[in-house]
Amino acid sequence: MRIGFLILAIALAALAILAFQYGGKWFAEPPPEAAAPVAVPKQAAAAQSPAPEPVAVEPAAPAIVLPELDSSDVWVVERLAGLGVPAQWLDREGLVRRLAVLIDNAPRGEYPRRQLGFLAPTGAFKVFKLGDEIFLDPASYARYDGYLDLLESIDPQSLADTLVMLEPLITQGLAELGNQRPMAAQISTAIDDIAALQGLGDEVRLVQPRVLYEFADPQLEALSPLLKQALRLGPDNLGRLQSYLRRFQQALLVPQEPG
């Protein structure tokens, strides 16, 4: 089983947060050269009134210049220092394009296994049997705890601001897929679907018609792959995800005014 779309999307988007907050000067336009000082005769200088106390002026925030889409991987990866994102998540090409594919898939409740295979959680998926019936072992939920810890370590407002800044690159990636819908609308659709989910009960019966386990409840099994993955996080982790996503969605749809 794979981690859901939104956790990966947030992990990829978070790579640039420090760049926007602290590293923008690497791409800023060079400051204009200061004008040469004008010499003042000593007598004239003595006649002048005392100079007023200097007033501190906050420097203007440097402009952010995004790289080209084809060369954006290095820009993203170089700014990972200090974020604590696992290195194996980044050792692959086309990070922004992967995010575009995920955004394209999410409103349909799908997730592309090729893009998400490297995020498979550690540890085996656990079940237990009571007679001839198979049940999901709640111990399986703990495999996702670390992903939710990472998610909650990212400020949702910073994440939303980062996605807005990355939107020109993401839009290019979506256009390559023939997708012209606004980025925020697509993410919001997926969030709304997850927010409406009710967590699984104490006993979740499964069936194993082939190799993989499926929900015995036909209504649960009929859900989209994305929603079934969200349910597999477990009730507590699902609640954590929903709480975070509500704050993130609000920040994404109502951007913070620049201070």
At position 148, the amino acid (one-letter code) is L
- Contact between 147 and 7 under an 8 Å Cβ cutoff? The reply is yes
In a domain, 137, yes or no: yes
- Contact between 126 and 140 under an 8 Å Cβ cutoff? The reply is yes
Closest residue by Cα to residue 105 from 227, 218, 200:
227
For the chain, the helix, strand and coil percentages under 3-state DSSP, each to the nearest 5: 55, 5, 40
pLDDT tens track for 12-46? 444 333 223 222 222 223 334 444 444 444 554 44
In a domain, 248, yes or no: yes
Closest residue by Cα to residue 152 from 213, 235, 91, 237:
237
In a domain, 90, yes or no: yes
In a domain, 241, yes or no: yes
Closest residue by Cα to residue 249 from 181, 185, 179:
185
At position 177, the amino acid (one-letter code) is L
The order of strands in the sheet holding 214-215 is 127-130, 133-136, 205-207, 214-215
Bridging pattern class, strands 214-215 and 127-130: unpaired
In a domain, 51, yes or no: no
- Contact between 111 and 102 under an 8 Å Cβ cutoff? The reply is yes
Which of 6-20, 47-61, 84-98 tops mean pLDDT?
A: 84-98
In a domain, 31, yes or no: no
pLDDT tens track for 108-145? 888 666 666 666 677 788 999 999 999 999 999 999 99
Range of the domain at 137: 5-23+64-253
How far is the C-alpha of 244 from the C-alpha of 252, rounded, in Å?
12
How far is the C-alpha of 93 from the C-alpha of 184, rounded, in Å?
24
Q: How many domains does the chain have?
A: 1
Residue with tokens 């290195």: 87
**Which of 101-115, 127-141, 217-231, 239-253 is least confident?**
101-115
pLDDT tens track for 70-81? 998 887 676 654
In a domain, 47, yes or no: no
Continuous segment of H or E residues that includes residue 135: strand 133-136
In a domain, 35, yes or no: no
